[in-house]
Copies of this chain bind each other. A is one copy, B any other.
Amino acid sequence: VTALPPGFAAAGIHCGIKSSRTKLDLGLLAAAAPRPAAAVFTRNLLLGAHVTVSREQLARSKGMVRAVLVNSGNANCATGAAGIADAHRIIRHTAELLGCAPEHVLFWSTGVIGARLPVDTIADGLPSLVSSLHEDGADDFARAIMTTDTRPKVHTARSGAARITGIAKGAGMVHPDMATMLGFLLTDALVPDPAAALRDVAARTFHCLSIDGDTSPNDAVLLWSSGAVDSAGALPELRAAGRSLCRAIAADGEGASRLVTIVVRGAPDEGAAARVGRAIATSPLVKTAIFGRDPNWGRIVAAAGRSGVALVTERMRLAIGGAVVFSEGRPHPAAEASAHRHLAESEEVLLELDLALGAGSAECWTCDLTPGYVEINASYRS
């Protein structure tokens, strides 16, 4: 059972958005009373209704959130003014059941774009969802927000006396600018400036994650703190929670057979390191080579070479699973057997690139590109 920080409860049910009765499709997170939260949203200009509505709600409530409702299976995106009205109707209904003002209820959606939300189906499910809120409900909630995910993503940690629970979903349309990803970081730690803390965490974690280079109109991450425990912000543990969820999303990337961690060191600064790491993480040629268990250093170096960072190939040092396959401007064929073994045998592939230009570093995550990715996305209407 995934524990929630004291003061939070969760639930997840099947209300009927998804046809399969075994798949949960409506989830709820609730605090005992409105508590401080901050959110980051997709930078895509095609926006799901929930992004527009959540920004209004958070402005009106000054970031005080009582509950977050999430449906999966329908993104309520490209649904125009009707979609916004649908979202508000569900929010009002949820607020009534919880006995709070509507501005304290967020409502997020993920799933198929362009179809009207089945408002009656969701409304019919709300009473039983609210009545099943429970301190042990995190796992049901994590399952209720899944779309093409094959498994729920949760993370729990302690920061001194405080607890942190992270929950996320995402498997495709995932990119540094955020994607079909929803993330929740819940804590009872007192976080003095949730918006600043979330920007810090997102820059280091959610913005360093790519499945396929596509971004979605619906992505959102929420940091939410009950503030019961004064533990100086818990920033390191929040970063670790974000990192853990990103790794879980990359490992469960559509069709993935390998989690790929890219560590870039020696960049002029952190931003440059992240740009190089993301260029590698989004390269279809790197990702297909990893699927082929091919220690193809040339594609990795070439991807870094198009990152926009002024790197010097003669200084670069690239290791695959610890085996240095490229340095001083040339390959080391003798190291390839060891690198190949790493690719063949490790579920997590580690690419380490030292640019030898400065002190900036970053970690990025992706997965390999497989025929399974193509099959899933040739047939799934996202």
A150 to B47, CA, bound (A): 41
Q: Which residues of A295-315 are within 8 A (CB) of B?
A: 296-299, 301-306, 310-311, 313-314
Secondary structure class of chain A's binding surface, majority of residues: loop
Chain B's closest residue to A213 (CB) is B284
A285, B382: Cβ atoms closer than 8 Å = yes
Q: Name which of A45, A282, A292, A302 has the most chain B CB atoms within 10 A of its CB.
A: A302
A371, B375: Cβ atoms closer than 8 Å = yes
Closest chain-B Cβ to A257's Cβ sits at a distance in Å of 11
Query: Which chain B positions have C-beta within 8 A of A381?
Result: 294, 296, 298
A57 contacts B by Cβ under 8 Å: no
Chain B's closest residue to A302 (CB) is B46
A301 to B374, CA, bound (A): 20
A373 to B370, CA, bound (A): 10
Closest chain-B Cβ to A174's Cβ sits at a distance in Å of 10
A173 contacts B by Cβ under 8 Å: yes
A46, B215: Cβ atoms closer than 8 Å = no
24 A-B pairs in the complex with CB atoms less than 8 angstroms apart: A43-B306, A45-B310, A45-B311, A47-B313, A77-B298, A78-B313, A78-B331, A80-B314, A113-B298, A113-B301, A114-B326, A177-B306, A215-B302, A215-B306, A288-B373, A288-B374, A291-B378, A292-B378, A294-B379, A296-B381, A369-B374, A370-B374, A371-B374, A373-B374
List 19 additional A-B contacts (Cβ < 8 Å) besides A78-B330, A214-B284: A44-B305, A45-B306, A46-B313, A78-B301, A78-B326, A78-B329, A80-B328, A113-B298, A114-B331, A177-B306, A213-B213, A213-B284, A214-B299, A215-B306, A289-B377, A296-B382, A298-B382, A370-B374, A371-B374
